[in-house]
Chains A and B, each alone.
Chain A
Amino acid sequence: MDAHVAQLQMQYRNYILSLYQQGFLDDQFTELKSLQDDGSPDFVAEVLSLFFDDCVKLVGNMARALDQTGTVDFSQVGANVHQLKGSSSSVGAKRVKGLCINFKELCEAKNYEGCVRCLQQVDIEYKTLKAKLQDMFNLEKQIVQAGGIVPQVDIN
């Protein structure tokens, strides 16, 4: 039983490390995790679900704004990108944040093609992240079910 827990924990640790190293997450995510305590046990999950809802909404807005026939309101798109950037940097979604930075420049340059492409990338990216984090949560659940505690992963 312990070996299983140990293995799960090792798996979990490696998974988290890989997420960091592949650039999905950054230090802010660590901070977020450190805020989770007995007082707010599901803090991270709540924040993340709020974040992904936000993503859906903002991406939808941007898609609609870019879909407009006629003149595209780039300032509207830009405002949404700004929001997404803020959200993603608050949760430590590194890749999404990076994409948002590019996206913002494309909006300022009013590059329609670039914006559309970037939006698609953002869409893919946040969904990928969502899937990955879902896997992470599943691993955590498995560890707890197996009777172990979720290890604190030291990134550096």
Chain B
Amino acid sequence: MMEVCNCIEPQWPADELLMKYQYISDFFIAVAYFSIPLELIYFVKKSAVFPYRWVLVQFGAFIVLCGATHLINLWTFTTHSRTVALVMTTAKVLTAVVSCATALMLVHIIPDLLSVKTRELFLKNKAAELDREMGLIRTQEETGRHVRMLTHEIRSTLDRHTILKTTLVELGRTLALEECALWMPTRTGLELQLSYTLRQQHPVEYTVPIQLPVINQVFGTSRAVKISPNSPVARLRPVSGKYLLGEVVAVRVPLLHLSNFQINDWPELSTKRYALMVLMLPSDSARQWHVHELELVEVVADQVAVALSHAAILEESMRARDLLMEQNVALDIARREAETAIRARNDFLAVMNHEMRTPMHAIIALSSLLQETELTPEQRLMVETVLKSSSLLATLMNDVLDLSRLEDGSLQLELGTFNLHTLFREVLNLIKPIAVVKKLPITLNLAPDLPEFVVGDEKRLMQIILNIVGNAVKFSKQGSISVTALVTKSDNRAPPDFFVVPTGSHFYLRVKVKDLGAGINPQDIPKLFTKFAQTQSLATRSSGGSGLGLAISKRFVNLMEGNIWIESEGVGKGCTAIFDVKLGISNESKQSGIPKVPANPQHVNFAGLKVLVMDENGVSRMVTKGLLVHLGCEVATVSSSEECLRVVSHEHRVVFMDVCTPGVENYQIALRIHEKFTKRHQRPLLVALTGNTDKSTKERCMSFGLDGVLLKPVSLDNMRNVLSDLLEHRVLYEAM
């Protein structure tokens, strides 16, 4: 029953309202407390990352227990059994424990959570910064794109005007400029002239003196400089007061002039020329020049400068190329003229060679004949003078002709084997008469190791020795003359630029001619070898001579890969002429000098040799036939190449064909004969008879398969030699 106890009796009937409210509140608190963890669990499960699960569990436990406590509280409003009180106490105790634990845990957690917040703020700031930078980069990239586009436009042309015009247009477009102008320096360099503008079609021919401070300021730096809109370079339009002029920027554009590229001019790098580019923002727009825009302008200015310099280089190289082409044309003409001149000279020489010598010989021969007839002393004197003069003239002509050919390089040595000792003796025999008359004893010393049979150009060597010894005799009035010949090794007396090295089958012959005559002034020695130079005055010249002798000798010596020089101690002390020439050592000792004459006389008799002669010219045909018949051959003749092909057989050993007729390809027949006779031993030998035996003719003959070439008209000896050589060796190329 209702005992009065010390426990608090819920005054249910009296405070029923309060109780009811408490009851309800507790109930709701319990519900809330139970639902919060559920919500938490739900949302955490949803989110993938939540680092504080343990805390959650704790928190959840705390809340659940609190809720449990409040729930259990519901039962304590009415009388409750001890179990309920026990459960309540347990719940409370647990709650207390957990909440304390949670409280303790939170001490650790909350700073972390707070710092998360800080980090979040930090990241937000960073993101904002990055956004800003992105914006900047994007702007820069835009700028870069603009620059690239501009550059591409500017550099896509090499024409100066287009470059400048395009620059202004593109800049105007990119930067949305109101006006853009370019001032170029005038020729004098003292003023700047308005050359190009963007908007105005026909700019007024403005000039501005170059020494303005604002201009100097701009020219002084490579950066874009903001200038006042009122400065003379910026005042391009008539100013009316309404406008608030936009900001103006000016930049310099270096100009490279053509003269900078010419190396031999004085270097003008210090006085650079600049053009001025002025850019105006639209008025009344309150736009400002941004840094990246200024940079853009500077970059463009540089590019323009480069493009202009390229254009200048191109102009220059075009000019140089045109100049070169002109020069080439001129050179070509000059070369052709020179060639024509040389050809004319050679033609002239060729004619002179024969035609002029003939009358000379006639004069000389007839004068000699005349000498042998009965003459009065006066007549004899006259005839002798004629003879002497004509001999002189003949020698002169020969010298000049020889020298011309030598200088051409067209003279070639005619090598042959000859007896060196005999040559020297012959020379001496030729000179002896004159020397005896002048009472000049001549001695000849031949070194014991001097080879007897050598290979070289006998005629020319004799000419050289004769010339030197002759000079010695000519210019000596008394004394003796000694001629020494020896084989030389490297000798320190030779001029320093020439070294003598005897090679295997060659040796160097040294000839020294010493006289005790007039001598030569050492200063005159270099002149000796020049053409037409005489050391003595005309009055003292006792004998004739063109002064060419030594020049010719020198050329011959050079052709023989040698050297010639003269030593003299002075006037009146005599002189020594020395020359070295390269000669070959002959292995065989031949009796005669002509190697073409065979040692065995087997083929001298050509009895019964069957040959074929093809010649369109009846007279030539007959003569050639007569020649061959005289040699004993059996000769058949034909007068055309068709007939020749028909008649030719393997019995014919040699076919002589005339290839003189111009315009007709006589050489074809050689090819046809080759075709006809496939076996080499059956084919007859082919010899061409032609009017000239120059190199080109010989090459042509060789290319058409001919075995030999003969110059018409052929002499008997020549024909004999040719035939024997041909039959012996089956090939022959010789010139007459």
Contacts and interface: CB of A to CB of B under 8 A. Distances in A.
B325 interface: no
A75 B691 CA distance: 19
Interface in B587-627: 616-620, 622-624, 626-627
Given A27-B715, A31-B715, A86 B630 contact: no
B471 to A, nearest CB: 29
A23 interface: yes
Contacts of B713: 28, 31, 89-90, 92
Given A21-B365, A47-B626, A87 B716 contact: no
Interface string A48-59: 001100100000
B635 to A, nearest CB: 12
Q: Which of B366, B617, B712 has the most CB of A within 10 A?
A: B617
Nearest to B715: A31
Contact of A86 (B627, B660, B663): B660
B622 A39 contact: no
Interface in A82-122: 82-83, 86-87, 89-92, 98
A31 B619 CA distance: 14
Contact of B362 (A23, A43, A86, A90): A23
Contacts of B629: 35, 39-40
Given A22-B362, A90-B623, A31 B716 contact: yes
Given A37-B630, A83-B617, A92-B713, A21 B366 contact: yes
B661 interface: yes
A134 interface: no
A32 B715 CA distance: 9
A23 B620 contact: no
Nearest to A29: B713
Contacts of A87: 617-620
B626 A35 contact: yes
B379 interface: no
B660 A90 contact: no
A21 B362 contact: yes
B627 A51 contact: no
Interface in A22-77: 22-23, 27-28, 31-32, 34-35, 37, 39-40, 43, 46-47, 50-51, 54, 75
A37 to B, nearest CB: 7
Contacts of A43: 626
Interface in B342-356: 355
Contact of B617 (A28, A35, A90): A90
B390 to A, nearest CB: 13
A47 B716 contact: no
Interface string B250-272: 00000000000000000000000
Contacts of B626: 32, 35, 40, 43, 47
A89 B622 contact: no
Given A23-B362, A32-B623, A82 B662 contact: yes
Interface string A5-24: 00000000000010001110
Contact of B623 (A39, A47, A75, A83): A47
B693 to A, nearest CB: 14
Given A23-B358, A35-B627, A90 B620 contact: yes
B662 A90 contact: no
Contacts of B714: 31
A10 to B, nearest CB: 13
Contact of B618 (A35, A54, A89): A54
Interface string B720-736: 00000000000000000
Interface size class, chain B: 20 to 34
A39 B362 contact: no
Contacts of B627: 31, 35
A134 B713 CA distance: 23
Contacts of A86: 617, 619-620, 658, 660, 691, 712
Contacts of B712: 86, 89-90
Contact of A82 (B618, B630, B660): B660
B362 A35 contact: no
B661 A82 contact: yes
Contacts of B716: 31, 34-35
A28 B717 CA distance: 12
Nearest to A44: B626
B622 A46 contact: yes
Contacts of A27: 715
A50 B622 contact: yes
Contacts of B365: 21
A31 B627 CA distance: 9
Nearest to A27: B715
A91 B623 contact: yes
Contacts of B715: 27-28, 31
Contacts of B355: 98
A50 B618 contact: yes
Contacts of B362: 21-23
A21 B619 CA distance: 24
Nearest to A47: B622
Contacts of A78: 662
A92 B627 CA distance: 14
Nearest to B714: A31
A148 B496 CA distance: 71
A89 B692 CA distance: 13
B632 to A, nearest CB: 9
A44 B170 CA distance: 100
25 contacts: A22-B362, A27-B715, A28-B713, A28-B715, A32-B626, A35-B623, A39-B630, A40-B629, A47-B619, A47-B622, A50-B619, A50-B622, A79-B661, A79-B662, A86-B617, A86-B620, A86-B658, A86-B691, A86-B712, A87-B617, A87-B620, A89-B691, A89-B712, A90-B624, A91-B623
Report, nearest first, the 9 A-B pairs whose CB atoms are least far apart: A87-B619, A90-B620, A90-B623, A86-B617, A28-B713, A35-B626, A35-B630, A51-B619, A31-B715
Given A54-B617, A86-B660, 15 more contacts: A21-B365, A23-B362, A28-B715, A34-B630, A34-B716, A50-B619, A50-B622, A54-B619, A82-B660, A82-B661, A82-B662, A86-B619, A86-B691, A87-B617, A89-B712
Interface of B: 355, 358, 361-362, 365-366, 369, 616-620, 622-624, 626-627, 629-630, 658, 660-663, 691, 712-716
